[in-house]
Amino acid sequence: MGKVALVFSGQGAQYSGMGKELYDCSPSAKAVFDMAEKLREGTLRQCFEGTAEELSVTVNTQPTVFATDLAAAEAVLEKGIRVDCAAGFSLGEIAALGFCGILTYEDAFRLVCKRAELMDKAAKATPGAMVAVMKISPEKTEQICAEFDECWPVNYNSPMQTVVAMNRDITEKFCDRVKAEKGRAKALAVSGAFHSPYMAEAAQGLSEFLQDMELSQAEVPLYSNFTAQPYEGDYISLITNQCKNPVKWQKTIENMIADGVDTFIEVGVGKTLSGLIKKINSEVKVFKVENKADLDALEI
């Protein structure tokens, strides 16, 4: 058997009730949620009872999805499963920082709360949008982006899916241009142009915030969104650059597989990453854990 990797989900699939079954069935998952509640009162209520509108607000989305991701990861460990490495998609990388031992769980949660605050502020200062482009290659998507000002590929998700961030005013023209190339364009329900130059001030704020935190060497290899390689060197630079630069998800998964991973477990909300991994490589084994049924069925 090859290596086992955890992949931590990003925001977008959050829903009321997320994590509740894990809270009730796993002492380790419960401990994560209780930690988050202690540091940010109301986190439990938002996870388990929050409205869709409430959970779509960035300052709520990021802490609640973080808690659910990390709780699911702890529940996997509780089953005795050995994890060899990890990666997190966008927000998911912050939860993975805690899991891999670079930050304590408490500091990782403080970081995600600050990240949400800073990204929300940046999004309000410069209105942006994000569009998922499907059925055409990343190279063709890059060519279309080059035809517009303030338009950037920011999530390289799979061979035929790239997410683009842009000035909100050009969204309709951009989508029409994609359709003219026989592609499919879907505007995402997000509040800003994340992972783009619009997030430069947020990245600077994160850098300043991290100066007062103790970052340790990774106990479990963590693959960076920014480099698609395991964390090494200047950890603060990797964390802050992730905020304003593209997520190289396809390359990350390809590199993990090249390094011996043949089993992926998506932890947290939804199954987006599971679907992307199958599109990148159909031969690897992919599981997901977001509730008790998933946990019970997990056999590696």
Q: Which of 26, 158, 191, 195 is catalytic?
A: 195
Q: Which residues of 118-141 are buried (b: 16+ CB within 10 A; e: fewer)?
A: bbbebbeebebbbbbbbebebebb
Record the tokens describing residue 104, joined without a space.
């304590």
3-state class (DSSP) for residue 81? coil
pLDDT confidence of residue 177:
98
Q: How far apart are the first and last CA of the chain?
A: 9
Contact between 74 and 32 (Cβ < 8 Å): yes
Q: Please state, in angstroms and rounded to a whole number, the distance separating the CA atoms of residues 49 and 52.
A: 9
Contact between 160 and 137 (Cβ < 8 Å): yes
Contact between 178 and 144 (Cβ < 8 Å): yes
Indicate if 195 belongs to the active site.
yes
Residue with tokens 């304003």: 244
pLDDT confidence of residue 191:
82
Full DSSP string of 219-244: SS-EE-TTTSSB--S-HHHHHHHHHH
Indicate if 137 belongs to the active site.
no
Nearest C-alpha neighbor of 57 from the set 11, 18, 106, 7: 11
DSSP 264: E
Q: Please state, in angstroms and rounded to a whole number, the distance separating the CA atoms of residues 41 and 208.
A: 25
pLDDT confidence of residue 35:
98
Record the tokens describing residue 31, joined without a space.
């401990």
Crossing angle (nearest 10°) for helices 200-210 and 235-244: 160
Record the tokens describing residue 250, joined without a space.
């396809």
Residue with tokens 């925001």: 11
146 CB-near residues (< 8 Å, 6+ apart): none
Which amino acid would we find at residue 100? C
Going residue by residue through the chain, which has 300 residues, state the pLDDT in tens, using 9 for 90 and above.
799 999 999 988 899 999 999 999 999 999 999 999 999 999 999 999 999 999 989 999 999 999 999 999 999 999 999 999 999 999 999 999 999 999 999 999 999 999 999 999 999 999 999 999 999 999 999 999 999 999 999 999 999 999 999 999 999 999 999 999 999 999 988 889 999 999 999 999 999 999 999 999 999 999 999 999 999 999 999 999 999 999 999 999 999 999 999 999 999 999 999 999 999 999 999 999 999 999 999 988
Q: Which of 26, 90, 196, 224 is catalytic?
A: 90
Residue with tokens 């202690």: 38
Q: Please state, in angstroms and rounded to a whole number, the distance separating the CA atoms of residues 232 and 217.
A: 8
pTM score of the predicted model: 0.95
Domains by residue range for the chain, with CATH: 3-124+196-297 (3.40.366.10), 127-187 (3.30.70.250)
Q: Please state, in angstroms and rounded to a whole number, the distance separating the CA atoms of residues 291 and 166.
A: 35
pLDDT confidence of residue 190:
83
